[in-house]
Every structure is written in C-alpha cells, then in structure tokens.
Chains A and B, each alone.
Chain A
C-alpha cells in the first residue's frame, strides 16, 4: 500500500491538528495499515517528549541574570517616555529663561513703546485672573526692565522758520522733537 500520501495527515492527526473533514479517511487507513499505526504511535510519543521540554526546569541563575540585566538597563537608560522627555523639558526651560534674560539688552530700542504700554500693563496686572498668575514672574521681569530703562525725556520744541517773498509774512512752525537717547 502506498502510505506516503497519508504521512502528512497522520502527523497532523497525532497532534490533533487534522481538520475534521480528513479525519475519517486517516482513521480508516490506520485501521488497515500496521506501519502507519506505528508511525502514529511514534509521533504521539514524540509529542509527549516535546511537551516535557516545556516543563523542563530552567536554571534559576539563568533567569535571575536576565532579570537583573533588564532591570539595570531599564533604570540606567530611563526608557520611559517620562524619562525620555525630561532632558527635552530641561532644555526648553533653559531656552525660555535665556530668551527672557537676553531680551531687554537686545531690544532696548523698543523701550519707549514698551514704556508706553507699561502703564496699561501695570493696570492690567491688578486684574489678572488667578489662572494667569503663572505669568507673574514674566511681568515682574518686565517691570524690572522698565525701571532700569530711563524715562524718555522729550527735547525742546524745534522752531522752523519759513521766509516768504513778502518780508511782512514769516511762517513759524514749532515741531516736537523725538525723545533723546534712542
């Protein structure tokens, strides 16, 4: 009898993996073929040995080594998103601080405009809602900067005289000068 065409199905049958539609045909063949019954028996014994491999004990030291290495690595590298973001947050905070500290020196030209707005800002600060109190340090910094910037003093008015062809007509024009120190 040509049994080779049954071998694949017998291998599945021994492990309980044969689809139900092919079961009857294999069982009928096993009923009449001693060689294939021996094959099925060997395969079942093999299954049992493979199952015992699952239950074979692992050396505790081997398991402990892996655990130790993993925990050391996790704690050393800070794998968590929280750990990964911490340096970024620190850099961002440093950048914001640097901008705040450097800004008055490099933008002194804008001082008059800021000064113009400062009264409104100070007035507004008294009405800052509680939720916005996080901006308080920034406002304090701004006020400090305004105190350090001397108040803009306007110069004396400039007198412009237009002389016409008629000696009896002279036009005088008073022009306010821009504040000095710009």
Chain B
C-alpha cells in the first residue's frame, strides 16, 4: 500500500492537491443530495476535514474517489437526518447559462431545473443511488461498493428512481406545454 505523504510540507501539499481535484465533485454531490447550498458547504467541509485526518491511511494507488464518495454520502445523510430541512423548490438556483437569452438554452435549463426538483423528491436511498449512477456516471458496481449494497439492490433503487423521476418530470412538462 502506498499511503499519501503525511510528513511536513508533503502532507499539506498532498491534501491541497486532492482537495483542488475533488472539491467540486464533493460539493456537487452534496448539493444534489441535500438540495441546500449551506448544508452542502457544511457537508463538503466535514468531508475534507475527515480526508485530512485519514490521509495517511488512504491507499494512494487506489485513489481516494471511492472513499470521498462514501464519506460524502454518509455526511450528507447525517446532515439530512439531523436538520430535516424541508426541501424547498427554489433553494438551489442554477447558475446562469452562458447564453441565457437563447431560447434553446433557456428551455433546456428549465428542464434541468424540473429534473433537479424531481431528484429532491425522491427518497434518500433512491436519490443517492441515482445521483451516483446517473449524475456522477459511476458504474452500478462502483455505486454498490460506495453504498455497501449489492448490485441487485442498486439496480432496484435506480430503476424505481428513474420511473418516479420520469412521472414527476412528465407531469410538470406536460403542464407547461
């Protein structure tokens, strides 16, 4: 096992390198799971503090992404259970598109917003599996490893989640058209 360096300046350098590589990913997953920017920032902060504490025991050859995803999911679940935020529909504004006046872009952004709202209405396990599989693009096996579930369980969760999401988005899009 090749551990990340822990001594002297190598420690902080390795930590900052990993953080700069993964901070957006961790924050993005936290945002999708918590649907609240403040909670997502708190979650990301906790994730990276845990990373720093465990840096010396992580295997560099395996990469720390699976570990980071797992800890992010756990921290987000803890925060969600602790705070029980009502899932507001407008809490996470999508950043403005580069060409907001373009009709197609605006329509697409609207569709993404509907999907994002649909995600926030899924149950915790289904949402987590779908975010990791369809938003993050991890394989079913990777998702199962992160969640500590079997691949069959993950397939069942993402299948249910996709159908629920399709019902939600279909209703809203039909209402708008």
Contacts and interface: CB of A to CB of B under 8 A. Distances in A.
A56 B159 contact: no
Contact of B23 (A14, A54, A63, A82): A63
In terms of DSSP, what is the predominant structure of the interface of chain B? helix
Interface stretch (B24-32, B66-74, B83-91): B24-32
Contacts, number: 114
A79 interface: yes
A43 interface: yes
Interface residues of B, number: 49
A40 B158 CA distance: 15
- Which interface residue of A65, A67, A73 has the most chain B CB atoms within 10 A? A67
A59 B162 contact: no
B62 interface: no
In terms of DSSP, what is the predominant structure of the interface of chain A? helix
B58 interface: no
B158 A79 contact: no
B45 A49 contact: no
16 contacts: A8-B163, A11-B162, A15-B133, A15-B158, A15-B162, A47-B134, A50-B119, A50-B130, A52-B108, A56-B28, A59-B95, A63-B27, A70-B48, A73-B49, A81-B6, A82-B7
Interface of B: 6-7, 11-12, 15-16, 19-20, 23-24, 27-28, 31-32, 37, 41, 44-45, 48-49, 52-53, 56, 94-95, 108, 111-112, 115-116, 119, 130, 133-137, 140, 155-156, 158-160, 162-163, 165-166, 169-170
